[in-house]
Structure 1
Amino acid sequence: MYVASVYEGPVQDLIDELGKLPGVGPKGAQRIAFHLLSADPADIDRLGAVLERIRDGVQFCAVCGTVADGERCRVCADERRDASMICVVEEPKDVQAIERTREFRGRYHVLGGALDPLSGIGPDQLRIRELLTRLATPDNGVEVTEVILATDPNTEGEATATYLVRMMRDFPGLTVSRLASGLPMGGDLEFADELTLGRALTGRLVLRS
């Protein structure tokens, strides 16, 4: 059924575009739009400048693949982090979720998604080859001794974790673990609270050693 636009011109255009964002419904889009209408022009200019920077290209860490300001993200550039431990996640947002727990002092590897054959996402579409290269190449003489699989606890995430375990079985002395119970099946890491995610991280299960 066709629903006529309530507002006219750029206001309705803004509401329509905001409504396309994930997690933003029609009412939420309307609230954001009218908030922006009443905002200070300088705030609007800053928002526009940030959107232009995103449009022109976001930079990703050359090592782990998360969003970065330079060639390396702050985690990979921090020599105090434990290079012998790598936590594998699906998206950059998952890095921030785990960092909030303050339980992990190793480094990360962002796959860029999860295996989903029905959507055309196979191993070649993910940063799996880069992960295997990191495992085979010591970082400043430090070899990776443990990989923590922190893919989402859903069908795609479990399939990805199972595939990665199989791909890493030929690395001698490598321990492969999975986040422990406490995370709900079918959920996403970004929606887990710090306590639940922290307990899951510290109580992770060893899949291979």
Structure 2
Amino acid sequence: MTHSFDKNYWDKTWSGERAPAMSAGDPNPHLINEVGGLEPGTAFDAGCGAGAEAIWLAKQGWAVTGADVADAALGYAKDRAAAAGVNDQLRWVQADLSTWEPDMQYDLVTTHYAHPAMPQLDFYDRIADWVAPGGTLLIVGHLHHEHSTPAHSTISEGAHRREHGHTHPPVEASATAAAMTKRLDPTVWTVITAEESHRSVIGPGGRPDIIDDVVLRAARRS
């Protein structure tokens, strides 16, 4: 592997100059589209960052555990949760999700662009095991492009290669819908959504950008 998405990397990222802007983001639109109609239960947000998705879930009535490797990210998350008035529905865990294990399974396990210190697809396999029977897995990741270049240990999240207005992530931090779906045992999972999408956003300095997403939603059989 050529990237170093370890605790040191994320601590530096969340303590750097981009952190205030990163912590002010809205919840991912794919989460709202895919989960908005589900009955609330227990939820786990893997790599929760500043907590936008975890807080949105809590506002919908979910009992949420948000986990991230970076203490500074969780500091932002706790402040945002307090401001939103949903502290009672949230639990924050500082953990390296490449090795940490939960003590329960959840009705919903979700992750949004989390990059752990392990291969991306292996990470998705790992968190899928944390879904309870009858529960939902929702993964929103960076779409893999055949022309993506390998990442190096010095790459930063803001230095993803751009081409024609698109942000291309490091190859190790991306996936395709086909590759993700292939990892799910059809005797255990029903795939509901497996899509690759493109959405326009306004990036730093007001610059328009296009985010290429891969979205997988699957229900675990009871």
Higher helix proportion (structure 1 or 2): 1
Q: TM-score, with normalisation over the residues of structure 1?
A: 0.32
- Structure with the bigger RCO (C-alpha within 8 Å, sep 6+) is 2
Larger Rg computed on CA atoms: 1
Task: Give TM-score, length-normalised by structure 2.
Answer: 0.31
